[in-house]
C-alpha cells in the first residue's frame, strides 16, 4: 500500500503546481457562488423587512423593485471580481487589463452611448419612484403591467399577454395608472326626453349600493362624483361621472357599475338611446320598402345561383 502511495505521489508531483492552480480556481468560483447566495439572501431578508414596514402598497412595491435591482447588481459585481481574481491567479496581470479597459472604454463609449443612456434612465426611474413592479403604465407607446424593471430595460405585459421590452433610454414620458388612487370614469348617454335630475339620482343610488357591497366596497375610496351634462350628442345627452378607487381597481369597479346601472335604468324606465336615421323621400308620401327590396334581391340571387 505504501509503495502504491509513493508511486501515485511521484506521478502527481510533476503536476502539483497545475493541480494547486486548478484547486485554487475552483475554490474562488465556489466562494463566489456562496458569497452571491449569502448576499442575495441577506438583501432579500433586508428588503422583505423594509417592505413589511411600508405604510402603503405603492411604497411596498417600490421597495421590492429596488430590492430586485440590488440583487442583480450585486450578483454581477461578485462575478466580475471573481473573474478578475481568477485571471490574477493564472498569472495575468489585472493592472494592464484595467488600464486597457479605460482606453477601450473611451473608444467603445461612442458606440455604447445608448447603453449608458439606458442605465442612467433606469437609475432615475428607480430613484424618483416613477415605475414599480406591478404597476400598470404606458411608456414609449406601449402599455401593460410592469413585470420586470432593471437598469437597462423595462418588461411590460399587455392585456392580451404580449410582452414588450422597452429600453429605459427610450422612455421620455411615463403614464402610471397605479399611483395613490385612480378614477373609474363613465360617460352615460340618455335620451333627450329624460329628466336629467332623475337620472342623476338613479346614478347616485346605484353607486352607493355598489360601495356598500362587500366585494367592491374596499375598492372604492369616495362616492360618485357627477361632473354633469358633458355634451349634447347626436342622439343622447351625455353625462360624465367618476368614482375614486384604489389603484388598479378602476377597471373592475367601472365594469360592475355600468352593469348595475344598465339594470337600474331598465327598472326605472330610463331610455338609453341609439342613433336614428330619418329618410326623406322626394315626391312620395311614404318611405320605400327597403327591407322588402333587400329580401327580394336576396331571394333572386339565391335562385340564380341554384339554376
Domain of 207: which CATH number?
Answer: 3.30.70.100
Alpha-carbon gap, residue 190 to 184, rounded angstroms? 19
- Is 186 inside a domain boundary? yes
Nearest Cα residue to 182 out of 216, 227, 136: 136
Note whether 170 and 193 are same-domain residues: no
Residues 167 and 191 in one domain: no
Whether 166 and 192 map to the same domain: the answer is no
For residues 37 and 87, state if they share a domain.
yes
Q: Taking residues 26-52, what's their average pLDDT?
A: 84
Same domain, yes or no: 188 and 160: no
Which of 79, 110, 141 is where one domain is finished? 110
For residue 202, tell me if it sits in a domain. yes
Q: Are residues 98 and 159 in the same domain?
A: no
Q: Are residues 170 and 192 in the same domain?
A: no
Residue 261: what pLDDT? 96
The pLDDT assigned to 101 comes to: 58
- Cα–chain center distance at 124: 18
Average pLDDT over residues 221-249: 92
- Whether 303 maps to a domain, the answer reads no
Mean pLDDT along residues 282-295: 54
Complete DSSP assignment for 162-206: -EEEEEGGG---EEES-SS-EEEEEEEEE-TTS-HHHHHHHHHHH
pLDDT of 136 over the 80 cut:
yes
User: Is residue 217 a part of any domain in this protein?
Assistant: yes
pLDDT value at residue 26: 85
Residue 98 covered by a domain: yes
167, 81: one domain: no
What's the domain count of the chain? 3
Mean pLDDT, the chain, whole residue set: 80
Where residue 46 sits, what CATH number does that domain have?
Answer: 1.10.287.1260
Q: Give the residue, 49 or 38, on which the prediction is more confident.
A: 38
54-84 residue pLDDT tens: 666 666 766 777 777 788 778 888 888 888 8
- Residue ranges making up the domain that contains 225: 182-268
Instruction: Tell whether 279 is covered by a domain.
Output: no
Number of residues that make up the chain: 307
As a whole number, mean pLDDT of residues 134-153 equals 87
Residues 101 and 200 in one domain: no
Structural domain contains residue 159: yes
The reported pLDDT for the residue numbered 258 is 96
The reply to whether 151 and 197 lie within a common domain is no
Whether 104 and 159 map to the same domain: the answer is no
Amino acid at each position: 500500500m505504501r509503495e502504491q502511495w509513493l508511486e501515485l505521489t511521484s506521478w502527481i508531483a510533476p503536476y502539483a503546481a497545475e493541480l494547486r492552480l486548478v484547486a485554487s480556481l475552483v475554490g474562488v468560483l465556489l466562494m463566489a457562488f456562496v458569497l452571491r447566495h449569502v448576499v442575495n439572501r441577506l438583501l432579500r431578508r433586508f428588503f422583505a423587512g423594509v417592505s413589511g414596514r411600508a405604510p402603503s402598497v405603492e411604497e411596498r412595491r417600490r421597495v421590492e423593485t429596488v430590492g430586485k435591482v440590488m440583487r442583480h447588481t450585486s450578483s454581477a459585481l461578485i462575478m466580475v471580481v471573481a473573474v478578475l481574481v481568477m485571471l490574477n491567479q493564472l498569472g495575468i496581470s489585472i493592472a494592464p487589463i484595467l488600464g486597457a479597459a479605460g482606453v477601450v472604454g473611451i473608444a467603445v463609449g461612442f458606440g455604447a452611448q445608448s447603453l449608458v443612456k439606458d442605465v442612467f434612465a433606469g437609475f432615475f426611474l428607480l430613484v424618483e419612484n416613477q415605475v414599480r413592479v406591478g404597476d400598470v403604465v404606458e411608456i414609449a407607446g406601449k402599455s401593460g403591467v410592469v413585470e420586470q424593471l432593471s437598469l437597462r430595460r423595462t418588461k411590460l405585459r399587455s392585456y392580451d399577454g404580449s410582452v414588450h421590452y422597452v429600453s429605459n433610454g427610450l422612455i421620455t414620458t411615463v403614464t402610471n395608472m397605479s399611483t395613490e388612487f385612480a378614477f373609474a370614469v363613465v360617460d352615460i348617454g340618455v335620451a333627450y326626453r329624460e329628466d336629467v335630475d332623475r337620472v342623476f339620482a338613479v346614478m347616485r343610488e346605484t353607486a352607493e349600493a355598489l360601495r356598500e357591497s362587500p366585494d367592491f366596497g374596499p375598492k372604492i375610496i369616495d362616492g360618485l362624483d357627477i361632473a354633469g351634462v358633458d355634451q349634447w350628442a347626436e342622439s343622447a345627452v351625455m353625462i360624465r361621472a367618476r368614482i375614486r378607487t384604489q389603484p388598479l381597481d378602476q377597471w373592475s369597479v367601472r365594469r360592475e357599475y355600468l352593469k348595475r346601472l344598465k339594470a337600474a335604468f331598465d327598472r326605472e324606465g330610463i331610455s338609453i338611446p341609439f342613433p336614428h336615421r330619418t329618410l326623406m323621400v322626394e315626391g312620395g308620401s311614404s318611405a320605400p320598402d327597403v327591407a322588402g327590396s333587400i329580401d327580394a334581391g336576396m331571394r333572386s340571387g339565391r335562385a340564380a345561383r341554384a339554376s
